[in-house]
Structure 1
C-alpha cells in the first residue's frame, strides 16, 4: 500500500535521512519510534507528501501504486486532499469555526457539496462520541475532544492512509488511552491504515509493527 525506496534528506550539509526503505500494508497500524533527532518526523512528512526527498530523481514513494514524486504541485495537492489524512500533536483546528465546520473543510476543498460534507462530518463526529459537540468551537472542547475532531477531519475524505505525528503527545493519560483505542476501532470499522510517529510506549506496543529509527536509518 505504501512503499519507499532509497529516501535521503539533507538540510544543508546535514543528512537527516540516509537511504530509507520501507513497505506498509493496507490496514496496518505502524509505529515509528526512536530518539529525538532520529528523523522520524522528517520521514513522516516525506511519506505524507508534505516535503520531497533530496534525491527525488533516484528515490521512490508509492501510495496505492502511484509514485507521488512524479506528480506536479497541483496533482500532488489534489492527491493529498483525497487520499491522505493528517493528525498532529497540536490539533490545528481553526478557532473561529465549530467542530462541524472544521471537519467539513477538507471535504469542501474536494468539491463536496455543503449538504454532503455536513452529513458525512456529522456521522463521523457522532461515531467519535461528539454528537453533542458539533456546534462548539475548539476553545469550548477538552483536549481529548479537540483531538477527536482532528481525527474526524482527517477521515472526512476517506483517505487511504492517516499519518499521525505524536497524536497523543499533548493529552493526559486518560485521553491518550482513549485516542489510542480509537485508532484500532477505526482500523476495524474502515480498514484504515495508520503510520504513527510516537514516543508513547503504550501506543507503540499496541501497533502491529514498530519501525525503529536511529541517526536517519531504520534499524529494525
Structure 2
C-alpha cells in the first residue's frame, strides 16, 4: 500500500530523515511516535506529497502501487487531492464557511459534481453525528465538533490514505477518546489506511502497529 525506501531529508545542514524505510499495509492504522525533533511530521509531509525526499538519493516512494518519484508537480497535486486526506491538530477550517462548505472544499478543488458532493458531505456529517450542525460556522462549534468536521473534509474524496498530525492534541480527554474510537469505525466502514503522528500513548497503543522514530529513523 505505502512503500518508502531510503528516504533522506535535509533542512539546510541539518539531516532530519536518515535513509528511512517504511512499509504500511492497506487498511492498517499505524501510529508514529517518538520525541520532538525525531522527524515524524517531516515524514508525514513527505508521505502526503507536501514535501519531497532528497532527490540525489536513490529512494523509492509509492502509494497504491503508484510511484511518486518522477511525476510532475501538477500530477502530484492531483494525486494528493484524490488519494490522500489530511487531519491537522488545529482543524484548519475556513472561518467564513459553514461546516458543510468546509467539508466540500477538497471535492470542489477536484472539480467534482456540486450536487453529488453536497449529498456525500451531508452523509459524512450525519455519520459523524453532525447533521444538526451543517449550517454552523467553525466559531459556533466545539473543539471536538470542529475536529469531526475536519475528519469529514479528509474523507470527502474517498481517499485511500488518511494522514493525521497530532489529531487529538488540541482536544480535551473525552473528545480525544471519541476521536480515537472514530478512526477505527471509519476504517471498518470505509477501508482507509490511517497514519497518525501522535504523542498520545493511549491512541498509539490502540493502533494496529506503533512505529517509533528516533533521530531520523524508525527503530
Q: TM over 0.5: same fold?
A: yes
8 Å CA contact retained: 2:8, 2:57: no
Name the TM-score, length of structure 2 as normaliser.
0.99
Cα distance in 1 between the residues matched to 2:38 and 2:60: 21
Match of 1:178 in 2: 178
8 Å CA contact retained: 1:164, 1:196: yes
Q: How does 1:107-186 map to 2 (within 5 A)?
A: 107-186=107-186
Residue ranges of structure 1 left out of the alignment (5+ in a row): none
2:131 counterpart SS class = coil
Match of 1:38 in 2: 38
Runs of 4+ in 1 over 2 A off after TM superposition: none
Q: Alpha-carbon deviation of 1:113?
A: 1.6
Cα distance in 2 between the residues matched to 1:71 and 1:148: 33
Q: Alpha-carbon deviation of 1:111?
A: 1.1
Cα distance in 2 between the residues matched to 1:69 and 1:36: 28
Residue ranges of structure 2 left out of the alignment (5+ in a row): none
Q: Alpha-carbon deviation of 1:56?
A: 5.6
Cα distance in 2 between the residues matched to 1:11 and 1:111: 35
8 Å CA contact retained: 1:7, 1:55: no
Cα distance in 2 between the residues matched to 1:95 and 1:69: 35
CA deviations on 1:84-106 (whole Å, 9 max, x unpaired) are 00000010000000000000001
CA deviations on 1:164-218 (whole Å, 9 max, x unpaired) are 0000000000000000000000011111110000000000000000110001110
Q: Alpha-carbon deviation of 1:55?
A: 3.1
Cα distance in 1 between the residues matched to 2:61 and 2:23: 10
* 1:70 is the counterpart of 2:70: yes
Q: Alpha-carbon deviation of 1:109?
A: 1.0
Match of 1:80 in 2: 80
Cα distance in 2 between the residues matched to 1:151 and 1:30: 17
* 1:55 is the counterpart of 2:65: no
Q: Alpha-carbon deviation of 1:150?
A: 0.2
Aligned length: 219
Q: How does 1:170-209 map to 2 (within 5 A)?
A: 170-209=170-209
Cα distance in 2 between the residues matched to 1:49 and 1:56: 17
Q: Alpha-carbon deviation of 1:54?
A: 1.4
Cα distance in 1 between the residues matched to 2:70 and 2:56: 9
Cα distance in 2 between the residues matched to 1:176 and 1:82: 27
CA deviations on 1:59-94 (whole Å, 9 max, x unpaired) are 111000111121101000000000000000010000
